[in-house]
Amino acid sequence: MISIYDWNLEKLQTIVENLGFKKYNGEQILRWLYQSRVDSFDKMSNLSLPLRETLKSSFSIDLPKVVKKQVASDGTIKFLLELEDKRCVETVIMRYVYGNAVCVSSQVGCNMGCSFCASGLLKKVRDLQVHEMVGQILVAQQELDKTNERVSHVVVMGIGEPFDNYENVMNFIYIINEAKGLAIGARHISVSTSGIVPKIKALINEKLQINLAVSLHAPNDTIRDKIMKINHVYNMETLKEALIEYETKTNRRVTFEYLLLDGINDSSENAYELAAYLKDTCCYVNLIPYNAVSENIYKRSSEKNINNFYNILKKEKINVTIRREFGNDIDAACGQLRAKSEGKS
Ligand code: SF4
């Protein structure tokens, strides 16, 4: 059955009109779903009985099922969610001083094959549908409702490559951004790609002021070729050209994610090389200390190397931060909880 969470306001209005009801019923339904967050059509008390019955027979209102929930001492909450076909994805609530960010998965598994990634251990099974991403936000929001908090930020950085599921991810973002619904501001929404260049160019033309993050993780093609297969298709020069076009046309700054892997990409030379690569961009670099996954060979960089790398970028006048770590006492690495549930970690 089609999910009611697949549709934005405009589409809901068209659907109810096509079913023989009034256009304004579309907005009423949207408010019930995203502001009141009811779990059944029967609770939509200002809709007529015939409309409620029609909705019941035409659409599903179910959310993903929480099969596991881990709460870390820093307040991070990680969910393992089961979808209609029993496949599982992960969703994480991260606590910041400025609000609650939810990290959303966009695919079941991932085909990009980054060698350091727990999600890449499980190949892509399928793309997530729009309602399955909306459902992740609503599950997180229901959890936050218990303490009268709200989802203030969304990062599409969980399992999957969002730009390998571009259309569904964009439709999902338009729904959560809807002012009469969850109203999560576009500037509070970030999408992270491993570097699918044609979709970076497509994003330029979206009517959305969202943030773009790029998983770079290497200062040159030799290293990036080894750890990220995508680099064989779009190398670092091609990627940079697309990002400069993105920055020029949108006036928005790109964030580069850089995972520090011991002995692989964390030397002083690597830091200077990265600074040189980034010189023509008005970027921001997020250094990420690595969370080791038992299945691969990589180790976390030492504190000394992390700080040295950071200091060199600073000295080279690159905007840089070291990402705060979340949920260290739970299965914090992306895909780790799901991999464990499927016996791969
Ligand atoms: S890092 Fe991202 S793109 Fe790469 S395998 Fe993992 S989930 Fe996929």
What gap in Å lies between CA 313 and CA 188, rounded to an integer? 26
Q: Which residue has the tokens 């994610």?
A: 257
Taking only the tens place, the pLDDT of each residue in 19-44 is: 999 999 999 999 999 999 999 999 99
Taking a C-beta distance cutoff of 8 angstroms, is the pair 239, 220 a contact?
A: no
The answer, yes or no, to whether residue 333 has pLDDT greater than 60, is no
Contact in structure between 289 and 320 (CB atoms under 8 Å): no
90 is catalytic: yes
Q: Shortest CA distance to 154 belongs to which of 175, 184, 128?
A: 184
Question: Model's pTM, two decimal places?
Answer: 0.93
**Which 3 state secondary structure label does DSSP give 91?**
strand
| pLDDT computed for residue 345 by the predictor | 41
Ligand 1 center to 186 CA (angstroms): 23
Strands 88-96, 77-82: parallel, antiparallel or unpaired by DSSP? antiparallel
Which of 106, 107, 119 most suits a substitution to test ligand 1, by most atoms within 8 Å of the C-beta? Answer: 119
C-alpha 332 – ligand 1 centre gap (Å): 15
Domains of the chain: 2-60 (1.10.150.530), 65-341 (3.20.20.70)
Q: How far apart are CA 179 and CA 277, in angstroms?
A: 39
Token look-up 């990036």 returns: 224
Residues 93-108: pLDDT tens digits? Answer: 999 999 999 999 999 9
Spatial distance between the Cα atoms of 136 and 128, rounded to a whole number of angstroms: 11
CA-159 nearest atom, ligand 1: 7
Q: Is 184 helix (H, G, I), strand (E, B) or coil?
A: coil
Region of 75 please: left (phi>0), alpha (psi -120 to 50) or beta: left
Question: Using a 6 Å CB cutoff, which residues line ligand 1?
Answer: 110, 112-114, 117, 119-120, 159-161, 194, 215
State the helix-helix crossing angle for 197-204 and 236-250, rounded to 10 degrees.
Answer: 0
Residue 123 banded pLDDT, cuts 50, 70, 90: confident
Residue among 290, 345, 338 nearest 107 (CA): 338
Does position 328 have pLDDT exceeding 90, yes or no? no
Position 331 scores a pLDDT of: 64
Query: Ligand 1: distance of its center to the CA of 99 in Å?
Result: 26
Question: Tokens 């934005």 appear where?
Answer: 8
| Mean pLDDT (whole number) for 265-269 | 98
Choose the residue to mutate in 127, 161, 166, 298 for probing ligand 1, maximizing ligand atoms within 8 Å of C-beta: 161
